[in-house]
Structure formats: C-alpha cells, structure tokens
C-alpha cells in the first residue's frame, strides 16, 4: 500500500492537518501536499480510467507530465475538469472526483473495451465507421460523440475572475531549479532586468530531491545553495521572481506567454484566479529541466508502476511512500537514487532490474552496499495485477520474455532515461539534435528561434540544454545567463560559475522495448501513451500500414494527442516507429511542439474580456434614455441602437408598425448619432472627394448637401452617405453607422500612401455630436415651436443645411431624408444630446411625437426604394447594379472603382439588378430567398435568377414589400417570379419599381 | 437650459487604485505642419505652451498640448473656452493649411491614481509601464483591451486616460475590473 | 506576434496596435490602363519565402502608414520607413544585401 511516512516531507507542514474529499470520501493531508501526494498518503493509487479501454490508471508522475491523475475539481461555479492531481496544491475543503468511468471508479462498464482491445487497434475509427454511408449521421456520429472527450464540461458560469498583464523585461528565465536560479543570477549581475518564473510552488527543482544529500555547490549543500541564491536574487532590485507561474508558450519577436496560478491553492482569497502574462523579453532562457521516460514493458500501466523520479519525489518532498515493496527497473544510474532513498526510509526494495549487462557506477555500489539485490542485463517481462501491482516477472533484456523469476511487490519504479524539456525552445522554431550518448533530443544551439534582429532570442540552460550532471548544469546556466545579458545589450560581470560536484555515472543503455525481442502478447500490453491507450503494437501497426511520417502516426494512433501532449510518450513512440521503419531516431524526428506547454485555463486566455467587458459596447449620449423607454436593442457593429421602442404589453412587431405609422402621419424621433461624421478640409479636399465618391463633390455649393456613393478599387460599393459642404475648403462626410472608422481609415490610406502631396486633413468627429432626426409631416411645426432659427422651406430647402440654435441648443440642421418624409437631422454637442432629446420629446408631445428605432427606419427607407449598405450590397455589388447610375459622374476622368467598373464582368448585361418585389398575396417574402428560373445547372440544381435583399411588411401599404437583385430585372417589370422558401412553400412575387411610396418625393420636399 | 454632461457624469471606483470620470474637458484636435512658426505661435497664444516633442505632452495649470502624430496635436483647454480658442486658431491659421476641430464632447477622460496605478493600466495596454520606461511628459496612444485610448501621467501615481465617448462605460468598467481588490501584481 | 517600430512616432509597437496593409510599392492603374495592367494592379501579389516589403498602419497609435522590409521565413525585420515613397531607402536595401546575398523582390535586388 501507499502511505505517509513518519520521516521526510520537506514541503509539507505536519503540524497542520487539512481535509479534502475524493469521490465523496473524506481524506486528510497536510499543507504543502499536492492532491496526488495526499491521495497516495491515503492509499488511493487508483485515480482514473484510460480514455479508450477504460483501464485502471494510477499516479505515474509527480509533475506537469502526469498523464493519468486527471480529476474533476470543485463544484458548480468552480467546477473544472481535467485538473492534474500532481500539480494541484492541496487546500482545506478541496473536492475532487475521478473521470471517465461509469458507474464508479472501482467498477466500470467501459472496462469491457479492454478485453476487446484486440478489436480496437490503431485506426479503429477510420476503419470501422466508413460503411454504410447512411450510418454516418445517425449511428456513427452519435456513437463517436458519446465516447469522445475526457471529463465533463462545466455547466455553470465560472465564478472566478482572470486577467492579463503586459510585462517587458530584458531577460526572462523560465524554470526555478538550480539552472534557472544560476542563469538568473549571472544575467542579473550585468544590471539587466530579469524576470524569473517557476511553475511549482518552490525554488530549487529536482536538485532538492536528487542532489541534496550527496552533492555540493561551492562546497555548500545544494539546499543551502538554493536558499542563498534565492535570497540574493530576491534582494536585487532588477530581479522579479514569481512562483506558480509557468512559461506556456514562446512566440515571434520575443513574445512569451506565462500562466500564473494565483488562487488555485487558496480559493477563498480575493483577486483573480489566474493571470496570463504577455511578456516581451529581449532574451529568454529556458531552464525547464528534463522529464524522465517510462520503460515500455508489458503491464507498465498497472497502478503502482511509476516513474522512478516520482517515487523519490513523493518520499523526499511529501513523506509519502508509493509502495511498501518497490522493484526498480532501469537503464541508467538515476533510478538507483530511488532505491537508496527508499531503502534509507526503511522501505523494502526487493530488486533492482538493470537492463545494462555491466550495470551502473558509484550509485550501484552504494545500493548494493545497502543490501539491495541488483540483477544485470535483466528486464521486466510483465507486471502482474489489475487495480494494483502484485508482482513482476523477470526475464533477460536480450530475449523474448521467457520468465526467469518472479518478485512480489506493490510498486515498480521505472526509469528509461531523461528527455530535456525542449518544448519552449521548439515553439518558435528552435531546432534539435539527437544526443546518442544520452539517447535524447537536445537543443541545437546553432539553430535557435530567431527574432526581429535575425539573432536567436531563446537559449536553454542546464538539463534542458542537455547538461546532465550538477557541475555541468551550473556551468551551463552561468554561461547562458551571461550570454543572454550580452545579447540583450548589457556587459556581464567577469565571473566564473560556482564549482559544483559531479557524479560518476555509468553510461545509459537505450532501451525502447523491454525485453528487446518482446513477443506480440507482451508488446500488446506495453503502453506508450497511458491516457490515450496507445501501445507498442499500435505504433508498429501504423508503420506497417504506411504511416511513416511521425506526424501521421501520431494522428492515426492518437499517440501524444492526450492532454499531456505526449510528455511521457513521444520519444518512446518515435523510437518504436524508427525501429519499425528501420531508420535512426533523428531521421524520424519529433512531432511539432505547440504551445501551451501544459493546458491553461480558458479564463486566463479570455482575461478581463467577460461579462460587461466581453466586448466594447458603443453607446450614444441618449443610450440610457432609450434603455429606460423600452428599447429593444439591435447590435450594429459595436453600437447598440434601438430596434424599436416597445411599450408595455406590446409586441416588438406591433411597436415597429406603430412607429412607422406615427412617423408617416405625425412625427417621429430617431437617434442618428451613430452615423459617421468626417471633416475633410484643405485646398485639395474637393479633388480628393471627387476621387473617393462616384459622383462629383467638388461642385457642391457651401450650404448644400449631396448623397454620395463610395467604392473600393474593385469597383464594389463600400459605403454611402450625405456630404455637406461647410465652406470652400471644408466638407463634412456622413458615413454609415458601422462605417466611420473604416472610411476614416480608407481616406487616410489614400492620402498617406497614394496622394501624399495633396493638401487635405481629415478628422473623425462622429462622437462629437448627438444627431437626432426629426421626421414627419409635423416636424417643422415642432422646430418652429422650439424656435431659434428659420427652418422654412425657403430658408432651409431640401438638401440644404444651416447652423443656428433650436430651443436654445447650438446646432447644425441638415434637411435630408432617409424616410421620404419632411425631415431635419439636427446635430448638437454630444454632451447636450440628452437634454436636447428631452426638449424635443417634451415640446413634441402635443404633436404626438414618438421615438422610433432602426426597423422603422428600414421599413420607411424600403418603402422609398433607398438602398442600405449591407442589405442591398454584400461586397460584390456595384452602383450600376442598384440603378444608381445617376450618382456616377460621367464627367470625371477617374474615381476609385471607375476602372474596375469597366471590366467585362462588371459591364455584363446579365448582372443581377435592383428591382422591387411585391408578393402576389401580400405576404412577406423570406429574407435572402432566391428566385428560380427555368432549367438546371451542372449540379442538377434549379437555375437561380435573383435574390431578395430586403423584405418587410409595410404598414403604410398594408402588404409585404421587398427589394431584390434579379437578372435583367428592370426589363422584366410585371413578371411574377417564384421564390422557394426554406419552409417548403413557394412564394410568388411580381417585379415592380423599387419605389413603393411617394415616387415624386412630394412629402419630403415641402 | 440644462448643463452639458460627460459620458459617465463623474463616476468613481475605489479598488487597488482609484478610477474617476473627470467630467467635461475641452479638447481641440489641431492638424497642420508642426514645423511652421505660425502654428507654434497659434498654439502658444491659445495654451501658453510650446510644442511637445515626438510622443510628448507639455502641461501647465490650465491645459496641455499633446503630440498625437507628426501632423496632429491635441490641445487640452477648459471646456468653456473651447469655442473662443477655436476662433483664435482659425483666425491665426487662416492662411496655413490646417484643421482645428472641437472634439471635447467626442471623448471621455478618466484619472487612474494610487501607488498601483501603473500595474492596473499594464493589465490593459501593450505598453511598458515600468518606472523609467514610462514617465510624466510622455503621451501614448495605444490599444486598451479592445478599444483605442491615449494616456499620460500627471505625476508618479496618476494617469489621465482618454477614449471615445461611446466606449466610456467600457473603459471605466475595464479599469474597475483591473483594479479589483486582491489583484495587486507587485511587478514594478 | 510581431513588433515593428513605427518610423513616425518611434514606438516599437506590438502587432495588436498595428493593422496590416498587404504588399508595398504598388503602382496604381486607373482609367486608361489595359485590362492586363489593371488586373495585375488589383490582384497579382508577391508571395515570397524570404524578403518582402509590406504596408502597415500604426492604427491604434499615431495612425500613420509605414512600410516594413521583413523576411517572411524568419520574421527578421530589416527596417521600417515612411510610406511616402515609391521605393525602399538605399540603406535598407544595403542591409538586406549584407544579410541575404542574392535576394530579389520584384525588380529589386
């Protein structure tokens, strides 16, 4: 069994006991425990089920590489699936449940998959779910969906908060082990600004477990060295140190994301749970250490089989023994450390199984001296046990697995060597070398990720750089720190690395399969990827089936595609693949390392962007009034505009109809503040606008307005609006609601990059004004009542504008109409907007004034046949399609889009053109419906000859009206077209003029 | 006639830093050739200030002149005096190719103050705000979360921030989220 | 995510402050141009693996358009310069030649 020891446990505080639950059962632990160490202390080795076969899974590792111990954490608004128990710090009241089983962890129906494993080989899904085609949607898809996914998606809104932080530093050091600390010190000594981050809650890294008793730096024990250098760094003003902060990803030009877990270990604390640091570093040093590799032997997934390093971590850091009798299996000297630590802690180590015929160095002698039996040239043939290891069978490494001996045990500590954590180095293009001696990929210092200067901006330090013993680690880190400081523009101190001890290890023997010639039945039980259930035989099958690229094999077998992203499985898997393909490992290469290093929370990615600040909402000065007066909001870009003002007990549709009728019969108010307003000024302003608009603006007289169309160089309509000439040099251009920023940018682009010698300045004054459209036959009466300026037809005729005051408000009044009614658009300062609106509403009550929203505006403009950018246009429509030839100057030599509109496709007489559509029965045509014509196209579909672009019920006409684009439309007046709807009905509509209401303009021009 | 009101009418928030809507601030956008003596003297006559260097802002008790782009300045003057100053500028610069417009009502202005002001703002803008890297006298136009904003420092603990009026609520809410209790970064 | 120095305001801006504008140094063809000329102006673009000249706008900053000489394969930036020019400055061309002998881009070498 696994249990708490009375000794060891440098990270825990035994004076306090805290309680937590696992699958509803109360357990005890200490502050400083991880959830994994606390579970082991409570003899809870079984923590989950694998993805495909639902095999029992135990804790394998002690850090970020853990593939099995993924649990659901919390409840309700703090629920989160797939949390790694090995990196989850224990807190009082923690609740965790295991995943991927039904009905319970101990008894799981899905376990049947394991006995069917012969029938679920690599590529099972691809091979099985192909035929018959009719099964795809209703049989296979539900089945695959049912079995997909690990853990459950949270159902409640996340109760925590998150944030980003933009940090700039000269040097970022990722990893707070001895290498990271030494590199940070060497860099900081130059005066450079250093940010040092460590993903766990303690400084010192593996050295605090592996080297603390036996080795020294500067003749000081390693723990003392760590304590001293940490204190020195903390005292330096140019150094920032952060624990619980992981380097998540390295990106272009020195951009690094780091993930700080602030409150995971103290969930009741104030402030954000996670913080995503968006760092720009001149130089980044990754001192990210190495991850131990499992060995591939039959039954290596049985709970109780763990990494040798993890076993000693649990003993030293947490005072927890994973087993009473632990067998060690190894191909290198490191695992002997585990044996020695276990033995010294009073635990039984019945056997060390070393695959190397010659065995190890000094550590082996030390283990032997402690009375531990060492078998050389041997391998594990098979681990026996289902929910827990019961014994191991031993064979010759060189053979096929014939059993020589059996040893009873309840844990196996395995070590297949180490793989430097090169993820961050590789994210942005750093290349790797194959190190034959240590059988590992390590960074190729000559091919680093390169930044804006063309020079490398990442360097690795310590074991992450392939330096394998303490002396080499310290020396490498010292040099890395100095080199990074130099590259960042600082002068490193002339200093030597602290002298550290070295261990005299014997060479490692690469072992990719145990035993070397393992029979099929053993290989079929030798797991590579514990979480995704990929076995040695799966990779070998993939190779036989022609998946020779490691990237293809990965996707075919799902090797390395689990939440651990192959931290344990990748190297072993590609070694098996290389062997199957008969090529050396570097020829196979690795899969691509992609950020983040370990999964980070969605909340951290979103940062502050949730709830009220999920995205900006643009509000007009009268927004709050609208909200208080029944506004049914419509998003228009980031703006919110009232779609209609709905009265209590009224439907939205009824409100719209009421607003149209009221505006046409008496008077309506529209908040038009969102329309873009751009001031264009300069001696070349007229010439400039002549280039931007299709019609002539330079001939416009001061005091007058003109409607204009804007096209892109492609010829397509991009915006429209009314231009007012303010004076000889100054124009005010109105844009569509969503268009102000875009058209402002469009103007600046042409002024800055094409006609930079033209004397024109542009300013965006959209938000300076609250603009109110006063619309309807009684509009003038209202303004006259408020008084202040002459708004008579003589003084202020249609398409004129004037400055003045109304009701005491300084304003500019435009006589323009988008409704076909008598209409004044009045601009006042935004800060006066609400007061002005109030004044209009109050004075207008005797005239029956009502505010109206965007849908009423749309209906009124459609009744008049006015186009709307975004309805009648979609980026493929030219003004000529919309019958707007009258707004295209024939005199101008050039304007943006003119040459494009001469292209053969644009002048094709078959282009669809704007018409009005009237349903035969008065109903409303479905929006976007297509008109079908005779014959079929090459795909056997009916030919389409037009489509609906705008469609409404007109209360004015008491019937459905629509606009649409129809082939040869204007030549087909009176023809009835068929529009099949998505509701199964076919709608019939007659082609008519798009101007349904007051075609002579008598109502607006009074 | 009722008084004009700013977008958030003096709203305030106290967290790890203090956020305040500063009410109505007169602002004039002036575009022109910044090397022309006429323009310099016009700015001087309106604000009493010289032209700031690239990326800078000059201030005295009543106002400021901020560099916005190579051909654009922002003049900060008392709200009530904008029309008079605009008239002066238009007269003084009648013969220069230039553009002066009132943008006072198109913007909102906030203060963010307290010892943690730097790190609150650093949660929202991709700008190095560490002491030394950003100091009083500097003007920065940038992106604040998802909208455009500009800011400068009045003193070591106080930023002034301007944004478009329509997103005033968004920017205020952003600042209050960034200044929530318990969210100190302690990075500077 | 790139960082580019805006040659107008001197700010080394995060990519999120910038907006991209495609290939630099296009010659505009308007009315009177042949179909081929206009087609090429509108649609034909370089797609190099290596040295490229691009347009960027400091959209959230000073609002100015500038050009960047950049390697699309390594993201090395050779320099940025104002957009009011029809060809890259000689010093940037020299810098590229020193770092990437034999480079070509359209008719530049």
Please give the mean pLDDT across all residues of chain A.
Answer: 94
Axis crossing angle, helix A308-318 with helix A334-344, rounded to the nearest 10: 40
pTM equals 0.94
Chain B hits for C9, CB-CB cut-off 8 Å, are: 54-55, 67, 69-70, 141
| Cβ within 8 Å, pair A454-C38 | no
| Cβ within 8 Å, pair C11-B148 | no
pLDDT over threshold 80, residue A179? yes
Domain boundaries, chain C: 3-26+40-99
Which of the two residues, A507 and A532, has the higher pLDDT score?
A507
| Cβ within 8 Å, pair C77-A714 | no
What would the mean pLDDT of A883-898 be, rounded to a whole number?
94
| Cβ within 8 Å, pair C1-A893 | no
Chain A hits for B133, CB-CB cut-off 8 Å, are: 168
Q: Which CATH class is domain A623-637+651-673+768-860?
A: alpha beta
pLDDT over threshold 80, residue A75? yes
State how far residue A807 is from chain B, nearest Cα, in angstroms: 9
> What gap in Å lies between CA A307 and CA A70, rounded to an integer?
17
In a domain, residue B67? The reply is yes
**Least confident piece of the model among A138-147, A185-194, A435-444, A523-532:** A138-147
Please state, for a pLDDT cut of 90, what percent of chain A lies above it. Answer: 89
If one counts the domains in chain B, the total is 2
Closest CA in chain A for residue B16: A271
CATH, range A162-290+420-487: 3.50.50.60
State how far residue C21 is from chain B, nearest Cα, in angstroms: 18
The reply to whether ipTM tops 0.85 is yes
Scan residues 52-91 of C and list those with Cβ closer than 8 Å to A. 55, 57, 59, 63-65, 71, 74-77, 83-84
Say if residue A547 is exposed, middle or buried (CB neighbours under 10 Å; 0-12, 13-18, 19+): buried
Residue-number span of the structural domain to which B54 is assigned:
26-105
Give the residue carrying structure tokens 């022109």: B32
> What gap in Å lies between CA A101 and CA A359, rounded to an integer?
42
| Cβ within 8 Å, pair A752-C64 | yes
Q: For chain A, list the contacting chains (3+ Cβ pairs, <8 Å).
A: B, C
- How many CA atoms does the CB half-sphere of B122 hold within 13 Å? 26
What would the mean pLDDT of A910-933 be, rounded to a whole number?
96
Last residue in a domain, options B105, B140, B159:
B105
Strands (E), A331-439: 348-354, 374-376, 378-384, 391-396, 405-408, 411-415, 418-420, 432-435
> What gap in Å lies between CA A831 and CA B3, rounded to an integer?
8
Q: Which of A425, A876, A864, A852 shows the shortest CA–CA distance to A643?
A: A852
In a domain, residue B64? The reply is yes
- Is the minimum CB–CB distance between B156 and chain A shorter than 8 Å? no
In a domain, residue B57? The reply is yes
> What gap in Å lies between CA B74 and CA B89, rounded to an integer?
13
DSSP codes of every residue in A100-119: S-SB-SSSBGGGHHHHTGGG
**Least confident piece of the model among A127-131, A195-199, A529-533, A752-756:** A127-131
Please state, for a pLDDT cut of 70, what percent of chain A lies above it. Answer: 99
Closest CA in chain A for residue B134: A168
Chain A hits for B101, CB-CB cut-off 8 Å, are: 679, 763, 765, 768
**What pLDDT, on the 0 to 100 scale, is given for residue A116?**
67
Question: Residue A119: pLDDT band by 50, 70, 90 thresholds?
Answer: low
pLDDT over threshold 90, residue A296? yes
pLDDT over threshold 60, residue A428? yes
- Is the minimum CB–CB distance between C98 and chain A shorter than 8 Å? no
CA dist A698 to A692, A734, A754, A880, A901, Å?
11, 16, 20, 22, 22
Helix and strand counts by DSSP (H, E) for chain C: 2, 6
Contacts of A226 (CB under 8 A, 6+ apart): A178, A181, A203, A204, A207, A208
Chain A hits for B2, CB-CB cut-off 8 Å, are: 835, 838
State how far residue C60 is from chain B, nearest Cα, in angstroms: 5
> What gap in Å lies between CA A714 and CA A952, rounded to an integer?
31
Asked if residue B73 and residue B16 are part of one domain, the reply reads no
What would the mean pLDDT of A622-632 be, rounded to a whole number?
97
User: Which of the 8 DSSP states describes residue A724?
Assistant: E
State how far residue A617 is from chain B, nearest Cα, in angstroms: 6
Structure-block tokens of residue A892: 């101008």
Q: String of b and e for A630-642 (b: at least 16 CB within 10 Å)? A: bbbbeebebbbbb
In a domain, residue B6? The reply is no
Asked if residue B40 and residue B93 are part of one domain, the reply reads yes
**What pLDDT, on the 0 to 100 scale, is given for residue C99?**
94
pLDDT over threshold 60, residue A634? yes
- Is the minimum CB–CB distance between B68 and chain A shorter than 8 Å? no
Domain boundaries, chain A: 3-111, 162-290+420-487, 292-378+387-393+409-417, 520-583, 623-637+651-673+768-860, 676-766, 909-1006
Q: Do residues C54 and C23 lie in contact, with contact meaning Cβ atoms separated by under 8 Å?
A: yes
Chain B hits for A164, CB-CB cut-off 8 Å, are: 123-124
Residue B134 sits in a domain whose CATH number is: 3.30.1360.120
- Is the minimum CB–CB distance between C89 and chain B shorter than 8 Å? no
**What pLDDT, on the 0 to 100 scale, is given for residue A689?**
98
Q: Which CATH class is domain A520-583?
A: mainly alpha
Number of Cβ within a 10 Å radius of residue B114: 16
> Looking at the domain A292-378+387-393+409-417, which fold is it?
FAD/NAD(P)-binding domain (3.50.50)
> What gap in Å lies between CA A696 and CA A400, rounded to an integer?
89
Question: Residue A118: pLDDT band by 50, 70, 90 thresholds?
Answer: low
Q: Which CATH class is domain A676-766?
A: alpha beta
pLDDT tens, position by position, A575-616 = 999 999 999 999 998 889 999 999 999 999 999 999 999 999
| Cβ within 8 Å, pair B148-C9 | no
**Least confident piece of the model among A479-493, A539-553, A721-735, A763-777:** A539-553
Which residue from B107, B127, B174 is facing A613, i.e. has the nearest CB?
A: B174
Structure-block tokens of residue A962: 């629509």
What would the mean pLDDT of A686-713 be, rounded to a whole number?
97
Q: Do residues A288 and A199 lie in contact, with contact meaning Cβ atoms separated by under 8 Å?
A: no
| Cβ within 8 Å, pair B169-A619 | yes
In a domain, residue B1? The reply is no
Structure-block tokens of residue A569: 């499985």
| Cβ within 8 Å, pair B101-A763 | yes
What would the mean pLDDT of A751-776 be, rounded to a whole number?
97
In a domain, residue B141? The reply is yes
Give the residue carrying structure tokens 């007058």: A704
State how far residue B45 is from chain C, nearest Cα, in angstroms: 25
Q: How many CB pairs under 8 A join B and C?
A: 35
- Is the minimum CB–CB distance between B94 and chain A shorter than 8 Å? no
Residue B43 sits in a domain whose CATH number is: 3.30.70.1520
Q: Which residues pair with A452 in a beta bridge?
A: none
Closest CA in chain A for residue C32: A899
Chain C hits for A450, CB-CB cut-off 8 Å, are: 74-76
Chain B hits for A168, CB-CB cut-off 8 Å, are: 128, 130, 133
pLDDT over threshold 80, residue A106? no
pLDDT over threshold 60, residue A261? yes
State how far residue C63 is from chain A, nearest Cα, in angstroms: 8
In a domain, residue B184? The reply is no
Last residue in a domain, options B68, B89, B105:
B105
Q: Do residues C66 and C53 lie in contact, with contact meaning Cβ atoms separated by under 8 Å?
A: no
pLDDT tens, position by position, A348-375 = 999 999 999 999 999 999 999 999 999 9
pLDDT tens, position by position, A298-312 = 999 999 999 999 999
Last residue in a domain, options B105, B131, B147:
B105
- How many CA atoms does the CB half-sphere of B177 hold within 13 Å? 24
Which residue from C63, C84, C99 is facing A454, i.e. has the nearest CB?
A: C99
The angle formed by the CA atoms of residues A600, A601 and A607, to the nearest 5 degrees, is 110
| Cβ within 8 Å, pair A767-B165 | yes
Which alpha helices (DSSP H) does A371-519 contain, by range? 423-427, 470-487
| Cβ within 8 Å, pair C11-B54 | no
Length of chain C: 109
- How many CA atoms does the CB half-sphere of A313 hold within 13 Å? 23
CATH, range C3-26+40-99: 3.30.2270.10
State how far residue A398 is from chain B, nearest Cα, in angstroms: 57
pLDDT tens, position by position, B38-75 = 999 999 999 999 999 999 999 999 899 999 999 999 99
**What pLDDT, on the 0 to 100 scale, is given for residue A133?**
80
Question: Residue A214: pLDDT band by 50, 70, 90 thresholds?
Answer: confident
| Cβ within 8 Å, pair A903-C38 | yes
Task: Please tell me whether residue B60 adopts helix, strand or coil conformation.
Answer: coil
Mean pLDDT, consecutive 10-residue stretches, chain C (109 aa), reads 95 96 95 96 95 97 96 95 94 96 90
Sign of CA dihedral A490, A494, A498, A503: positive
pLDDT tens, position by position, A382-410 = 999 989 999 999 999 999 999 999 999 99
In a domain, residue B185? The reply is no
Asked if residue B159 and residue B89 are part of one domain, the reply reads no
Question: Are A162-290+420-487 and A292-378+387-393+409-417 in the same CATH fold?
Answer: yes
**Strand A3-4 and strand A320-321: pairing?**
antiparallel
Q: Which of C109, C86, C85 shows the shortest CA–CA distance to C96?
A: C109
> Looking at the domain A3-111, which fold is it?
Ubiquitin-like (UB roll) (3.10.20)
Closest CA in chain C for residue A758: C84
**What pLDDT, on the 0 to 100 scale, is given for residue A1003?**
86
**What pLDDT, on the 0 to 100 scale, is given for residue A253?**
96
């Amino acid at each position: 069994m696994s249990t708490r020891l009375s000794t060891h446990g440098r990270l825990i505080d035994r004076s306090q006991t805290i309680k937590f639950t696992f699958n509803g059962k109360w357990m005890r632990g200490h502050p400083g425990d991880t959830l994994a160490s606390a579970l082991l202390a409570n003899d809870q080795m079984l923590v989950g089920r694998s993805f495909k076969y639902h095999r029992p899974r135990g804790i394998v590792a002690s850090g970020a590489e853990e593939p099995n111990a993924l649990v659901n954490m919390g409840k309700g608004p703090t629920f989160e699936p797939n949390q790694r128990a090995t990196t989850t710090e224990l807190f009082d009241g923690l609740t965790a449940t295991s995943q991927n089983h039904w009905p319970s962890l101990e008894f799981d129906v899905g376990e049947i998959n394991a006995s069917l494993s012969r029938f679920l080989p690599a590529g099972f899904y691809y091979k099985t779910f192909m035929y018959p085609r009719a099964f795809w949607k209703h049989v296979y898809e539900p089945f695959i969906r049912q079995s997909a996914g690990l853990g459950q998606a949270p159902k409640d809104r996340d109760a925590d908060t998150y944030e980003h932080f933009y940090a700039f530093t000269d040097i970022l050091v990722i990893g707070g082990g001895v290498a990271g600390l030494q590199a940070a010190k060497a860099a900081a000594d130059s005066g450079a600004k250093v940010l040092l981050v460590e993903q766990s809650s303690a400084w010192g890294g593996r050295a605090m477990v592996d080297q603390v008793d036996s080795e020294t730096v500067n003749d000081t024990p390693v723990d003392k060295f760590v304590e001293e250098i940490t204190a020195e760094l903390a005292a330096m003003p140019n150094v920032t140190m952060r624990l619980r902060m992981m380097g998540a990803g390295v990106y272009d030009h020195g951009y690094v994301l780091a993930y700080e877990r602030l409150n995971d270990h103290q969930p009741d604390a104030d402030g954000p749970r996670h913080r995503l640091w968006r760092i720009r570093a001149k130089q980044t040093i990754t001192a990210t250490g190495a991850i131990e590799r499992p060995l591939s032997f039959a039954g290596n997934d049985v709970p109780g089989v763990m990494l040798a390093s993890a076993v000693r971590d649990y003993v030293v850091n947490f005072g927890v023994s994973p087993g009473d009798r632990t067998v060690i299996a190894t191909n290198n000297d490191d695992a002997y450390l585990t044996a020695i630590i276990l033995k010294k802690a009073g635990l039984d180590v019945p056997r060390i199984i070393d695959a190397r015929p010659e065995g190890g160095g000094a550590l082996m002698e030390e283990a032997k001296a402690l009375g531990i039996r060492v078998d050389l040239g041997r391998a594990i043939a098979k681990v026996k046990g289902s929910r827990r290891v019961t014994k191991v069978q031993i064979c010759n490494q060189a053979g096929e697995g014939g059993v020589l001996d059996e040893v009873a045990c309840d844990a196996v500590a395995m070590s297949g060597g180490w793989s430097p954590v090169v993820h961050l180095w590789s994210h942005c293009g750093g290349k790797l070398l194959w190190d034959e001696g240590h059988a590992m990929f390590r960074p190729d210092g000559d091919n680093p990720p390169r930044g804006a200067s063309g020079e490398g901006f990442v360097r690795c330090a310590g074991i992450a750089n392939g330096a394998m013993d303490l002396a080499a680690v310290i020396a490498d880190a010292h040099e890395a720190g100095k080199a990074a400081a130099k590259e960042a523009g600082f002068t490193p101190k002339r200093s030597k690395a602290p002298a550290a001890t070295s261990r005299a290890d014997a060479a490692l023997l690469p072992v990719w399969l145990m035993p070397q010639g393992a029979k099929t039945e053993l290989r079929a039980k030798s797991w590579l990827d514990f979480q995704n259930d990929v076995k040695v035989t799966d990779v070998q099958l993939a190779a036989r089936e022609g998946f020779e690229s490691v990237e293809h094999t990965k996707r075919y077998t799902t090797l390395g595609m689990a939440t651990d992203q192959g931290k344990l499985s990748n190297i072993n898997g590609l070694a098996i693949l290389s062997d199957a393909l008969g090529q050396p490992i570097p020829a196979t290469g690795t899969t691509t390392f992609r950020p983040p290093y370990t999964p980070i929370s969605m909340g951290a990615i979103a940062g502050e962007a949730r709830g009220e600040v999920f995205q900006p909402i643009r509000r007009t000065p009268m927004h709050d009034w609208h909200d208080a007066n029944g506004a049914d909001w419509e998003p228009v870009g980031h703006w919110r505009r009232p779609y209609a003002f709905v009265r209590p007990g009224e439907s939205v549709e009824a409100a719209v109809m009421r607003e149209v009728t009221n505006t046409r019969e008496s008077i309506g108010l529209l908040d038009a503040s969102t329309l873009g307003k751009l001031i264009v000024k300069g001696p070349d302003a007229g010439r400039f606008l002549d280039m931007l608009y299709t019609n002539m603006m330079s001939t416009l007289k001061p005091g007058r307005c003109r409607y204009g169309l804007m096209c892109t160089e492609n010829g397509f309509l991009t915006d429209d609006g009314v231009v007012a000439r303010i004076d000889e040099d100054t124009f005010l251009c109105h844009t569509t609601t969503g268009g102000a920023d875009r058209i402002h940018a469009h103007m600046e682009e042409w002024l800055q990059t094409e006609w930079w010698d033209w004397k024109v300045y542009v300013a965006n004054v959209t938000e300076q004004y609250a603009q109110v459209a006063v619309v309807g036959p009684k509009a003038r009466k209202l303004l006259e009542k408020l008084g202040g300026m002459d708004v008579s037809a003589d003084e202020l005729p249609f398409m004129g504008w004037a400055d003045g005051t109304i009701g005491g408000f300084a304003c500019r009044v435009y006589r323009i109409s988008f409704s076909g009614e008598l209409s004044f658009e009045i601009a006042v300062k935004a800060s006066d907007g609400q007061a002005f609106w109030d004044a209009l509403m109050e004075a207008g009550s005797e005239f029956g004034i009502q505010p109206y929203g965007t849908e009423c505006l749309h209906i009124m403009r459609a009744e008049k046949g006015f186009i709307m950018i975004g309805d009648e246009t979609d980026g493929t429509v030219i003004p000529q399609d919309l019958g707007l030839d009258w707004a295209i100057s024939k005199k101008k030599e050039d304007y943006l889009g003119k040459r494009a509109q001469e292209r053969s496709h644009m002048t094709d007489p078959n282009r669809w053109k704007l018409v009005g559509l009237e349903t035969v029965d008065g109903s409303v045509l479905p929006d976007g419906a297509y008109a079908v014509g005779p014959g079929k196209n090459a795909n056997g579909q009916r030919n389409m000859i037009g489509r609906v672009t705008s469609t409404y019920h007109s209360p004015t006409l008491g019937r459905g009206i629509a606009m649409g684009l129809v082939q040869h439309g204007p030549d087909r007046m009176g023809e009835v077209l068929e529009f099949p709807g998505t509701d199964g009905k076919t709608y019939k509509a007659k082609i008519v003029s798009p101007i349904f209401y007051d075609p002579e303009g008598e109502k607006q021009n009074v | 006639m009722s008084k004009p009101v700013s977008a958030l009418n003096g709203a305030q928030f106290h967290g790890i830093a203090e956020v305040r809507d500063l009410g109505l601030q007169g602002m004039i956008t002036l575009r022109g050739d910044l090397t022309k003596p006429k323009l310099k003297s016009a700015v001087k006559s309106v604000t009493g200030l010289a032209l700031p260097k690239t990326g800078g802002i000059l201030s005295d008790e009543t106002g400021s002149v901020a560099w916005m782009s190579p051909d654009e300045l922002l003049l900060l003057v008392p709200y009530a005096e904008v029309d008079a100053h605009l008239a002066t500028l238009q007269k003084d610069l009648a013969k220069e190719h230039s553009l002066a417009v009132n943008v006072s009502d198109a913007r909102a202005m906030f203060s963010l103050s307290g010892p943690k002001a730097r790190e609150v703002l650093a949660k929202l803008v991709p700008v190095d705000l560490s002491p030394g890297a950003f100091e009083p006298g500097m003007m920065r136009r940038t992106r604040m979360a998802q909208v455009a904003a500009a800011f400068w420092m009045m003193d070591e603990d106080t930023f002034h921030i301007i944004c478009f009026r329509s997103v005033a609520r968004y920017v205020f809410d952003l600042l209050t989220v960034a200044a929530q209790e318990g969210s100190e970064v302690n990075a500077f | 995510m790139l960082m580019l120095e805006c040659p107008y305001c001197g700010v080394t801006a995060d990519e999120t402050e910038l907006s991209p504008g495609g290939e630099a140094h296009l010659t505009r063809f308007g009315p009177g141009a042949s179909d081929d000329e206009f087609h090429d102006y509108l649609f034909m673009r370089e797609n190099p693996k290596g040295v490229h000249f691009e347009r960027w706008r400091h959209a959230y900053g000073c609002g100015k358009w500038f050009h960047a000489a950049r390697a699309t394969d390594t993201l090395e930036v050779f320099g940025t310069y104002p957009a009011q020019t029809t060809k890259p400055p000689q010093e940037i061309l020299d810098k590229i030649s020193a770092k990437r002998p034999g480079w070509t881009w359209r008719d530049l070498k």
